[in-house]
A and B are shown apart, each in its own frame.
Chain A
């Protein structure tokens, strides 16, 4: 395969603005810039994680890619099984149908994403039925295969969702997403509703399935420790924009944006010997309807200078290929996570 055909998804200049309407005539008085100029790509078999705090636009980005939302602007080029590139952003609804088979979604809440009145066979087989697999026996055979794949006993086929625990339901959701052999899976906070002991099982399952089936994942999450386990590369979003994008280890050990540094520092470390050295940004996430001038992070940034207030930084590559949206990236020596950070106190 050539380098180009290895890329399964290219998102370029993606924008999703939601209009704010006021008054009797519902005049548009402004826009919530939920996603504002987002560019990234995903290679075959790769996991790219989108991280950030609530309201940063990570979920809106993932919903645009699946065309659950129609983007305001930008291109979403998906490479199909046949090897052609299709711009999902501009396709009419009818043209999306064959593509939807190849991009599937895993949802956050395993309790509300399964219909309580359907047996799990019906839930998992529904995508097959919708896509024209008429023969009941074929469908049942495929459901058995899928249950096997997500490590659930096929004896459970005729039960209803209420009989399953959160972790088992999430496995059912994964089986449903895999039913049509997709190439790309968008997983929006797939393990954040699960207990720690069960979360570990589902994280491992997602990694195993990727190895076996060559899947590509767009992994949307706020929990940086889970992200560290699953991702090849990580994109950090803040108020609708990617502020940093780099290979996982590089981003965690040598962040190049002050917001990433603050996020990493705020994660509580499960070790009582490391309690000090937090960098906690003051204030709160900016309002995407009325973002601050210049760099959106400047009001909370401990390194901000006058230039950050007036000039909007661009997402630009550093010498090592690390992308950052910070004017001062070259000068700052930001702290990442490593053994001994925050410094151990005994």
Chain B
């Protein structure tokens, strides 16, 4: 296994509000390998977006990274802990948009309507590289060509509101790639798009990744998108990584009861018409009413009274690349608990 380019270790990002503390991310750990796509999947409130914002150090108040490490490995072998950097400081600003590019869900609110897309690209290019305005404009047109925008020499002077949703998302991707990052974080990049446009954007992301050797963190609630794009998958529930492994394992040999139920409850185009879906009992708990013990136990079909409702399961490795946080796997001796994937770097 290659050395991870980014390692998140026991990340906790909490929001301190008058009503109490919302533990949006509460001990998530995972690794991103160079050239791989890591899919982070989960339902609303699982902390997948806050994880992305924590890596970029753009968590809004009253939220803040409480503890944990976000280790970025540079090509020269140097390792930086992003948690220790000043979120607004020079070094973090070089990482954000420089070494790590990012694409968000809403292409309309992420782009300015007052500046042409060309000027926004030129700004991003010149922020991270000392080039003339003229050279930056040439580069901007190159980037627009790269992301498949038709007639880039004319489109460079248009405004974001003149473009369709699909084209806007392409511009967002061009912006993210402006400083030639090594890592791209894409948070629900296709959720606001129609299905045929989504297919085009996913195709583009795949092509760019192959050409530029990017490592991608793809965050989505859509298991279909994960199955199509990811090499490795992290399944999150209420701020914790409950299971992680290669995409093939997660879909064809899932271990955690939540992953299993989630996969069974997805509607399928292959289903019989008027067939009922498998469901997961109950709903995602309110952030202030976080269950004791394993956060999934009130909805879990395999919950063990006295154990799952009392203590929090730690990740257990099932094999070198497959880890699950569930008492089912350390209790019956299926696999003895051992330091593995997650503890390796500590």
Q: Are B228 and A269 in contact (CB under 8 A)?
A: yes
Task: Indicate which residue in B167, B269, B276 contacts A204 across the interface (CB closer than 8 Å).
Answer: B276
Bits for B269-312, please: 1 = Cβ < 8 Å to A, else 0. 11111111111100110100000000000010000000000000
User: Which residues of A, 213-247, contact B by the 8 Å Cβ criterion?
Assistant: 222-226, 228-232
Q: Are A266 and B195 in contact (CB under 8 A)?
A: yes
Task: Indicate which residue in A275, A281, A338 contacts B196 across the interface (CB closer than 8 Å).
Answer: A281
Q: Are B262 and A228 in contact (CB under 8 A)?
A: no
How many A-B residue contacts, CB cutoff 8 Å? 149
Task: Indicate which residue in B197, B202, B272 contacts A284 across the interface (CB closer than 8 Å).
Answer: B197
B110 CB-CB contact with A under 8 Å: no
Task: Indicate which residue in A167, A228, A262 contacts B273 across the interface (CB closer than 8 Å).
Answer: A228
State in angstroms the CA–CA spacing of A337 and B270 once bound together: 7
**Nearest Cβ distance between residue A58 and chain B, in whole angstroms?**
12
Q: Are B273 and A266 in contact (CB under 8 A)?
A: no
**Nearest Cβ distance between residue A199 and chain B, in whole angstroms?**
7
Q: Which of B60-68, B219-227, B316-324 is the interface stretch?
A: B219-227
Taking CB atoms, residues of chain A closer than 8 Å to B279 are: 197, 200-201, 204
Q: Nearest CB to that of B275 among chain A residues? A: A229
Q: Are A207 and B274 in contact (CB under 8 A)?
A: yes
B105 CB-CB contact with A under 8 Å: no
**Nearest Cβ distance between residue B166 and chain A, in whole angstroms?**
6
Q: Are A167 and B251 in contact (CB under 8 A)?
A: no
Bits for A121-154, please: 1 = Cβ < 8 Å to B, else 0. 0000000000000000000000000000000000
A196 CB-CB contact with B under 8 Å: yes
State in angstroms the CA–CA spacing of A207 and B275 once bound together: 9
Task: Indicate which residue in B194, B199, B270, B276 contacts A54 across the interface (CB closer than 8 Å).
Answer: B194
Taking CB atoms, residues of chain B closer than 8 Å to A248 are: 273
* A225 and B266 in contact, given A266-B196, A268-B225, A280-B200 (Cβ under 8 angstroms): yes
A83 CB-CB contact with B under 8 Å: no
B268 CB-CB contact with A under 8 Å: yes
User: Which residues of B, 165-196, contact A by the 8 Å Cβ criterion?
Assistant: 166-167, 194-196
Q: Are B43 and A270 in contact (CB under 8 A)?
A: no
Q: Nearest CB to that of A338 among chain B residues? A: B270
User: Which residues of A, 252-276, contact B by the 8 Å Cβ criterion?
Assistant: 252, 262-275
Taking CB atoms, residues of chain A closer than 8 Å to B200 are: 280
Q: Are B277 and A204 in contact (CB under 8 A)?
A: yes
User: Which residues of A, 276-303, contact B by the 8 Å Cβ criterion?
Assistant: 278, 280-281, 284-285
* A196 and B265 in contact, given A272-B248, A337-B270 (Cβ under 8 angstroms): yes
Taking CB atoms, residues of chain A closer than 8 Å to B230 are: 272
Q: Nearest CB to that of B228 among chain A residues? A: A268
* A198 and B224 in contact, given A204-B277, A207-B274 (Cβ under 8 angstroms): no
Q: Nearest CB to that of B44 among chain A residues? A: A195
Taking CB atoms, residues of chain B closer than 8 Å to A226 are: 267
Q: Are A203 and B277 in contact (CB under 8 A)?
A: yes
State in angstroms the CA–CA spacing of A207 and B267 once bound together: 14
Q: Are B269 and A225 in contact (CB under 8 A)?
A: yes
Q: Nearest CB to that of A224 among chain B residues? A: B269
State in angstroms the CA–CA spacing of A338 and B247 once bound together: 22
Q: Are B265 and A268 in contact (CB under 8 A)?
A: no
B198 CB-CB contact with A under 8 Å: yes
State in angstroms the CA–CA spacing of A267 and B44 once bound together: 21
B338 CB-CB contact with A under 8 Å: no
A87 CB-CB contact with B under 8 Å: no
B261 CB-CB contact with A under 8 Å: yes
State in angstroms the CA–CA spacing of A274 and B225 once bound together: 12
Q: Are B227 and A272 in contact (CB under 8 A)?
A: yes
Task: Indicate which residue in B197, B267, B272 contacts A225 across the interface (CB closer than 8 Å).
Answer: B267
Q: Are A271 and B164 in contact (CB under 8 A)?
A: no
Q: Are B271 and A228 in contact (CB under 8 A)?
A: yes
**Nearest Cβ distance between residue B118 and chain A, in whole angstroms?**
21
B203 CB-CB contact with A under 8 Å: yes
Q: Are B269 and A269 in contact (CB under 8 A)?
A: yes
Taking CB atoms, residues of chain A closer than 8 Å to B274 are: 47, 207, 229-232
Taking CB atoms, residues of chain B closer than 8 Å to A252 are: 269
Task: Indicate which residue in A168, A201, A278 contacts B199 across the interface (CB closer than 8 Å).
Answer: A278
* A272 and B261 in contact, given A203-B277, A337-B269, A339-B270 (Cβ under 8 angstroms): no
* A249 and B273 in contact, given A53-B196, A268-B224, A269-B228 (Cβ under 8 angstroms): yes
B263 CB-CB contact with A under 8 Å: yes
Taking CB atoms, residues of chain B closer than 8 Å to A222 are: 194-195
* A197 and B262 in contact, given A272-B247, A285-B194 (Cβ under 8 angstroms): yes
A165 CB-CB contact with B under 8 Å: yes
Task: Indicate which residue in B266, B271, B276, B283 contacts A198 across the interface (CB closer than 8 Å).
Answer: B283
Q: Nearest CB to that of A336 among chain B residues? A: B269
Taking CB atoms, residues of chain B closer than 8 Å to A275 are: 227-228
Taking CB atoms, residues of chain A closer than 8 Å to B277 are: 200, 203-204, 229
Q: Nearest CB to that of B167 among chain A residues? A: A284
Task: Indicate which residue in B194, B196, B276 contacts A207 across the interface (CB closer than 8 Å).
Answer: B276
Taking CB atoms, residues of chain B closer than 8 Å to A269 are: 224, 227-228, 269
State in angstroms the CA–CA spacing of A150 and B140 once bound together: 54
Q: Are B221 and A264 in contact (CB under 8 A)?
A: no
* A225 and B251 in contact, given A266-B195, A284-B164, A284-B197 (Cβ under 8 angstroms): no
Q: Are B196 and A197 in contact (CB under 8 A)?
A: no
* A196 and B221 in contact, given A228-B269, A229-B273 (Cβ under 8 angstroms): yes
Q: Are B268 and A270 in contact (CB under 8 A)?
A: yes
Q: Are B278 and A270 in contact (CB under 8 A)?
A: no
* A271 and B227 in contact, given A195-B284, A197-B265 (Cβ under 8 angstroms): yes
Given contacts A195-B283, A196-B265, A197-B279, 17 further A-B contacts (CB under 8 A): A54-B194, A167-B283, A195-B43, A197-B262, A197-B283, A197-B299, A207-B276, A225-B269, A231-B274, A262-B196, A266-B195, A271-B251, A272-B247, A272-B252, A284-B164, A285-B194, A337-B269
* CB-defined A-B contacts under 8 Å, sample of 5: A53-B194, A166-B283, A263-B195, A267-B224, A273-B248
